[in-house]
Amino acid sequence: MEEVKQNMLFGKYEVGRVLGKGTFAKVFYAKEITTGEGVAIKVIEKEKVRKEGMMEQIKREISVMSLVKHPNIVNLKEVMATKTKILFVMEYARGGELFDKLAKGKFKEENARKYFQQLISAVDYCHSRGVSHRDLKPENLLLDENENLKVSDFGLSALPEQERQDGLLHTQCGTPAYVAPEVVRKKGYNGFKADTWSCGVILYALLAGFLPFQHENLISMYNKVFKEEYQFPPWFSSDAKRLISKILVANPERRINIPSIMNSPWFRKGLNFNSTSNDDLDLELDIESKVNLIDSSSPEFFNAFEFISTMSSGFDLSGLFEEKKKRGSVFTSKCSILEIVTKIETAAKSLRFKVKKMKEFKLRLQGNVEGRKGKLAVTAEIYEVAPELAVVEFSKCSGDTLEYVKLFEDEVRPALKDIVWSWQGE
């Protein structure tokens, strides 16, 4: 690609060696010029993706990665696009794939436990956001420079809207050795329970140095999976055996769930709750403040102009930038600023949100209901871009993202419909 050839990307990143290859993408190491920070840039060929009809999958990967922010999940920093390519700028996992380490031999029980605790913490977090990964395996588990695990590759992940009316997923995904029996059976499956099975196979592999179900013939391997036919090597501790035998249960209804895994004696041993408990994390806030910082350093008019040009151009990428859609929901209005402010205040009050004026055209709306991550707080900023045209941007400043999205979709958007000319990306 033109930018990569010259080693500089958008004047912001210096691109280096290839780190790996995925189905539609190459991943490069790059250095952010201003901070010197290492990042991984996944370069996806739009044409290839389009030809294979995989655009939905890429969009899903972007939405999912934007939704999940956790210390054990590779962080998506930004998404950029050229005419021919989509670029994911991600946190760089210096330690490479856990698979490469495992290929050198099994782990000591303490090390396997640490990786498994981090994996389960990430999976529990994803599930709490309604996301199932569907392709958990050591190749998709990366390590950072401190040997902390980072789940990557959400290319096959599923959001709840993919469920059919029976509440089950129907797409066959994953890698044979790690796939749950109900996924193979193609009768619909629960993505969370299927992820749990894969975690069980991973745990077995970490402790054993080989897979629980192996056969050169795929059908014979699946037969072993269906019959839960595997043996424990003699070095497995009894607590580890007990836990694995509760996970590798072919019937998903009888399989242990993630909260019970987290309560099991083997899992809890030596666990530092402060470093892994999801309740202690509010990385999202951190991300948001970064986004806000970027916003406040650029002139307001430029922001607004950018929104308008995105909305009116035929080359609309906004659908791809789920992060922007989820975190800051933007609409244009032909009403006066006063009308817009009044309408937002009325809508906020009917939702029992307190309204505070931060700047002349910026409101802070504060909820009073304790949610999963505390009370929701939202800002609404109004930019006048032309005498009869305003752009209004909502952003979440605190609280749970899913609760925010739900409130926004179910309450805020309907309440504002009289003043909205068009929503960004619609």
18: phi then psi, degrees, rounded to nearest 5: -80, 130
The annotation status of 325 as a binding-site residue, yes or no, is: no
Question: How many CB atoms are located within 10 Å of the residue 150 CB?
Answer: 23
Encoded amino acid at 202, one letter: I
Contacts for 292 with CB less than 8 Å, ≥ 6 apart: 395, 397
Inter-residue contact 177 to 201 (CB < 8 Å): yes
Alpha helices in 269-425 (DSSP H): 273-276, 283-297, 300-312, 322-327, 337-350, 401-407, 413-415
Taking Cα atoms as reference points, which of 339, 353, 354, 372 lies closest to residue 411?
A: 353
Give the range of 48-56, 85-93, 226-234, 330-338 binding ligand AMP by CB under 6 A.
85-93
Alpha carbon dihedral 60, 54, 198, 260, in 10-degree steps, equals 20
Q: Contacting ligand AMP (CB under 6 A), which of 64, 87, 93, 225?
A: 93
Q: Contacting ligand AMP (CB under 6 A), which of 4, 9, 15, 27?
A: 27
Contacts for 214 with CB less than 8 Å, ≥ 6 apart: 177, 221, 224
**Six-digit token pair at 364?**
């802070």
64 sits near ligand AMP (criterion: CB under 6 A): no
Query: Cβ 26 to ligand AMP, closest distance in Å?
Result: 8
88 sits near ligand AMP (criterion: CB under 6 A): no
| Cross-sheet strand order for the sheet of 141-143 | 96-97, 141-143, 149-151
Q: Contacting ligand AMP (CB under 6 A), which of 135, 153, 322, 400?
A: 153
97 sits near ligand AMP (criterion: CB under 6 A): yes
| Of 73 and 347, CB closest to ligand AMP | 73
20 sits near ligand AMP (criterion: CB under 6 A): yes
| Of 22 and 176, CB closest to ligand AMP | 22
Inter-residue contact 31 to 16 (CB < 8 Å): yes
90 sits near ligand AMP (criterion: CB under 6 A): yes
Give the range of 16-24, 158-166, 169-177, 405-413 binding ligand AMP by CB under 6 A.
16-24
40 sits near ligand AMP (criterion: CB under 6 A): yes
DSSP 8-state assignment for residue 256 = P
Spatial separation of the C-alpha atoms in residues 334 and 340, rounded to whole Å: 9
The three-state secondary structure class of 317 is: coil
**Six-digit token pair at 240?**
């580890």
| Of 44 and 382, CB closest to ligand AMP | 44
| Of 38 and 425, CB closest to ligand AMP | 38
| Of 28 and 331, CB closest to ligand AMP | 28
| Of 57 and 278, CB closest to ligand AMP | 57
Give the range of 21-29, 182-190, 192-200, 320-328 binding ligand AMP by CB under 6 A.
21-29
Give the range of 17-25, 289-297, 392-400, 405-413 binding ligand AMP by CB under 6 A.
17-25
Characterize 260-286 residue by residue with b for buried, 16 or more Cβ atoms within 10 angstroms of its Cβ, and e for exposed.
ebbebebbeeeeeeeebeeeebeebbe
Give the range of 19-27, 268-276, 340-348, 384-392 binding ligand AMP by CB under 6 A.
19-27
The region that residue 186 occupies, defined by phi over 0 for left and psi between -120 and 50 for alpha, beta otherwise, is left
92 sits near ligand AMP (criterion: CB under 6 A): yes
Strand partners, 375: 370
Query: Cβ 93 to ligand AMP, closest distance in Å?
Result: 4
Catalytic residue (choose from 135, 153, 195, 400): 135
Q: Is residue 21 within a helix (H) or strand (E), and if so which, with residue range?
A: strand 13-21
44 sits near ligand AMP (criterion: CB under 6 A): no
Query: Cβ 40 to ligand AMP, closest distance in Å?
Result: 3
25 sits near ligand AMP (criterion: CB under 6 A): yes
Number of residues located near ligand AMP, criterion CB under 6 A? 17
- Find the binding residues for ligand AMP in span 198-257 (CB under 6 A): none
Question: How many CB atoms are located within 10 Å of the residue 303 CB?
Answer: 18
Query: Cβ 20 to ligand AMP, closest distance in Å?
Result: 2
| Of 38 and 188, CB closest to ligand AMP | 38
* Active-site annotation holds for 135: yes
| Of 15 and 308, CB closest to ligand AMP | 15
Spatial separation of the C-alpha atoms in residues 234 and 230, rounded to whole Å: 13
The binding site for ATP consists of 42
Active site residues: 135
Contact residues for ligand AMP (CB under 6 A)? 19-22, 25, 27, 40, 74, 90-93, 97, 139, 142, 152-153
